[in-house]
Structure 1
Amino acid sequence: MSILLLILVILSLSVTQMLMGGNHIAFCLPGYGLLALAALLSWWPRRRTLIPRGATECLVAALLFCAYISIRALFSPEQYLARTDLYNALAGVLLYLLVALNLTSARWRLLLVGAILVLAVINCAIGAVQFTKGEFVPFSFLPHPVYRNRASGFYGYPNHLSGFLEIALMLGLGVAFWSRCASWVKVLAGYISGATLLGILITGSRGGYISTTVGLLVFALLSLVLVGKLASGRLLGVLFASLLIISGVAWGVKQVMWKSSFLQTRAEQTLTVDASRMRLWQAAWKQFRLQPVVGTGSGTYLYYGRQFRNPAIHTDPIHAHNDYFELLGEYGIIGLICAVIFVETHLRRGWSSLTRRVEEGSIFQGIGSNSLALTIGALSAAAACLTHCLLDFNLHIPANLLTAAVVFGLLSTPGEGPETHVSEEEPGLSPLLRLGLPVLGILTLVRILPTAPAEYFAERARALIAQAQRPESVDLNIALESIAQRGLTWNPHDPFLHYAMATALATQGDLASDPTKKEAFYTEAVESYRQQVAAAPGDVYALLALAQGLDTVKQFAESEPIFARAVELDPKGGFSHLAYGQHFFLQDKLAEAETQFHLAFEFGAWEPARFGLNQVQDKRREKTEGASPAPATN
Structure 2
Amino acid sequence: MQATDSSSARSSRWEWAQLTLLGANLIWTTLCLGGYRSETMVVTTALAGALFVLHLAALAYETPALPRHRADLWLLPFLGYVVLNILLVSPVPWLGWRDAWNWTMMIATFSVVLNGIRSAAPRRVLLGVLIGLGLIAVAMGCYQRFVAPGWLMLGRHQVDQFLHRASGPFGIPNSLAALLLLLLPAVSVRAFRRSASVTQRVLWGWIGAVFAFGLLLTLSRGAWLGLALACVIWPLAIRRWRWSRRLAVAVAVSIGLSVVGAVAYQASPGVRDRVGQLVTHGGELSRPILWRAGWELFRDRPLTGTGGGSYNTLFERHRPKGFIDDPQWAHNDYLNTLSDYGLIGFGLFFGVVASVAWRSWRQAGANDRRSRAGRDAFAVGGGLGVGLLAFAIHLGVDFHWKIPALALAFATCAALAVPPISPAPSAIVTRPRRRWARGAAWAGMVATVLVVVGVVRMQQAEALRNEARQAIDRQFHGRTGPDAAGLREAMGALERAVALDPANAQAWSDLAFVRALQTFAESGRGPAWGEAAEIAARRAIAASGVVPEFWIRLGVALDLRGQTDAARAAFERARDLAPQHSHVWYYYACHLSRDTKQREAALRAVAICLSLDPGNTEGEALRAKLNVRP
TM norm. shorter chain > 0.5: yes
State how far apart, in whole Å, the 2-side matches of 1:578 and 1:563 are. 10
| 1:558 and 2:566 are equivalent in the alignment | yes
State how far apart, in whole Å, the 1-side matches of 2:512 and 2:157 are. 22
TM-score normalised to the size of structure 1? 0.84
| 1:408 and 2:414 are equivalent in the alignment | yes
| 1:583 and 2:597 are equivalent in the alignment | no
Preserved contact between residue 516 and residue 556 of structure 2 (Cα < 8 Å): no
Preserved contact between residue 211 and residue 385 of structure 1 (Cα < 8 Å): yes
Preserved contact between residue 505 and residue 522 of structure 1 (Cα < 8 Å): yes
How far does the alpha carbon of each residue in 1:531-587 deviate from its partner, in whole angstroms, 9 at most, with x for none?
Answer: 333333222122223323433454321211111111111121222222222222232
Decide which of 163, 169, 179 is 1:164's aligned counterpart: 179
Long gaps (5+) in structure 2: 1-12
Preserved contact between residue 72 and residue 331 of structure 1 (Cα < 8 Å): yes
Preserved contact between residue 145 and residue 157 of structure 1 (Cα < 8 Å): no
Decide which of 268, 276, 289 is 1:265's aligned counterpart: 276
Q: CA deviation at 1:466?
A: 4.1
Residues 535 and 445 of structure 1, relative CA distance in 2, 3 Å threshold: same
Residues 138 and 446 of structure 1, relative CA distance in 2, 3 Å threshold: closer
How far does the alpha carbon of each residue in 1:264-301 deviate from its partner, in whole angstroms, 9 at most, with x for none?
Answer: 5356579x432532222222222222322111210111
| 1:567 and 2:575 are equivalent in the alignment | yes
Residues 377 and 530 of structure 1, relative CA distance in 2, 3 Å threshold: same
1:632 corresponds in structure 2 to none
TM-score normalised to the size of structure 2? 0.85
Preserved contact between residue 519 and residue 525 of structure 2 (Cα < 8 Å): yes
Residues 504 and 242 of structure 1, relative CA distance in 2, 3 Å threshold: closer
Aligned residue identity for 1:22: G
Aligned-residue identity in percent: 23
How far does the alpha carbon of each residue in 1:493-526 deviate from its partner, in whole angstroms, 9 at most, with x for none?
Answer: 32333344334433343233xx324554444334
Matched positions, count: 600
Q: CA deviation at 1:12?
A: 1.0
2:129 corresponds in structure 1 to 115
How far does the alpha carbon of each residue in 1:54-106 deviate from its partner, in whole angstroms, 9 at most, with x for none?
Answer: x33x2333223333223323433322111111211221121111110011223
Decide which of 189, 204, 215 is 2:230's aligned counterpart: 215
Decide which of 112, 116, 132 is 1:98's aligned counterpart: 112
State how far apart, in whole Å, the 2-side matches of 1:239 and 1:80 are. 47
How far does the alpha carbon of each residue in 1:571-623 deviate from its partner, in whole angstroms, 9 at most, with x for none?
Answer: 2122222222222223231322232223223323544486167427623xx36
1:253 corresponds in structure 2 to 264
Aligned residue identity for 2:319: R
Residues 244 and 386 of structure 1, relative CA distance in 2, 3 Å threshold: closer
| 1:467 and 2:469 are equivalent in the alignment | no
Q: CA deviation at 1:387?
A: 0.9
Decide which of 140, 153, 156 is 2:168's aligned counterpart: 153
| 1:89 and 2:103 are equivalent in the alignment | yes
Deviates more, 1:178-187 or 1:461-470: 178-187
State how far apart, in whole Å, the 2-side matches of 1:252 and 1:113 are. 31
Residues 167 and 477 of structure 1, relative CA distance in 2, 3 Å threshold: same
Q: CA deviation at 1:363?
A: 1.7
Preserved contact between residue 40 and residue 438 of structure 1 (Cα < 8 Å): yes
Q: CA deviation at 1:349?
A: 2.3
Q: Within 5 A, what are the aligned runs for 1:27-42?
A: 27-42=40-55
Aligned residue identity for 2:608: L
Aligned residue identity for 2:490: L
State how far apart, in whole Å, the 2-side matches of 1:574 and 1:607 are. 8
Residues 242 and 143 of structure 1, relative CA distance in 2, 3 Å threshold: closer
2:4 corresponds in structure 1 to none
| 1:505 and 2:505 are equivalent in the alignment | no
Aligned residue identity for 1:422: A
1:481 corresponds in structure 2 to 491
| 1:422 and 2:430 are equivalent in the alignment | no
State how far apart, in whole Å, the 2-side matches of 1:239 and 1:532 are. 56
Q: Within 5 A, what are the aligned runs for 1:193-592?
A: 193-219=208-234, 221=236, 228=241, 249-250=260-261, 253-254=264-265, 256-258=267-269, 262-265=273-276, 272-357=282-367, 360-364=368-372, 369-412=375-418, 414-415=419-420, 419-422=421-424, 438=445, 441-442=448-449, 444-468=451-475, 471-512=481-522, 515-517=523-525, 519-588=527-596, 589-592=598-601
Preserved contact between residue 65 and residue 342 of structure 1 (Cα < 8 Å): no
Preserved contact between residue 298 and residue 339 of structure 2 (Cα < 8 Å): yes
Q: Within 5 A, what are the aligned runs for 1:7-18?
A: 7-18=20-31
State how far apart, in whole Å, the 1-side matches of 2:423 and 2:450 are. 31
Preserved contact between residue 158 and residue 205 of structure 1 (Cα < 8 Å): yes
Deviates more, 1:72-81 or 1:558-567: 72-81
State how far apart, in whole Å, the 2-side matches of 1:181 and 1:4 are. 30
Residues 420 and 32 of structure 1, relative CA distance in 2, 3 Å threshold: farther
Residues 369 and 269 of structure 1, relative CA distance in 2, 3 Å threshold: farther
Aligned residue identity for 2:276: T
Preserved contact between residue 27 and residue 133 of structure 2 (Cα < 8 Å): yes
Q: CA deviation at 1:8?
A: 0.6
Residues 153 and 344 of structure 1, relative CA distance in 2, 3 Å threshold: same
Decide which of 582, 603, 608 is 2:612's aligned counterpart: 603
Preserved contact between residue 79 and residue 104 of structure 2 (Cα < 8 Å): yes
Residues 274 and 260 of structure 1, relative CA distance in 2, 3 Å threshold: closer
State how far apart, in whole Å, the 1-side matches of 2:258 and 2:580 are. 49
Q: CA deviation at 1:35?
A: 1.9
| 1:139 and 2:154 are equivalent in the alignment | yes
State how far apart, in whole Å, the 2-side matches of 1:518 and 1:192 are. 63
Long gaps (5+) in structure 1: 624-634
Decide which of 69, 79, 90 is 1:66's aligned counterpart: 79
State how far apart, in whole Å, the 1-side matches of 2:194 and 2:587 are. 61
Aligned residue identity for 1:565: R
State how far apart, in whole Å, the 1-side matches of 2:516 and 2:498 are. 18
Residues 244 and 292 of structure 1, relative CA distance in 2, 3 Å threshold: closer
Residues 403 and 266 of structure 1, relative CA distance in 2, 3 Å threshold: farther
How far does the alpha carbon of each residue in 1:178-212 deviate from its partner, in whole angstroms, 9 at most, with x for none?
Answer: 49676545533332222222222222322222222
How far does the alpha carbon of each residue in 1:96-133 deviate from its partner, in whole angstroms, 9 at most, with x for none?
Answer: 11110011223222211111111112222222222233
Deviates more, 1:386-395 or 1:370-379: 370-379
Q: CA deviation at 1:527?
A: 3.2
Deviates more, 1:474-483 or 1:91-100: 474-483
Decide which of 587, 594, 608 is 2:603's aligned counterpart: 594
How far does the alpha carbon of each residue in 1:424-478 deviate from its partner, in whole angstroms, 9 at most, with x for none?
Answer: 6x99997766955746643542442443442342343244234345745332222
Residues 201 and 98 of structure 1, relative CA distance in 2, 3 Å threshold: same
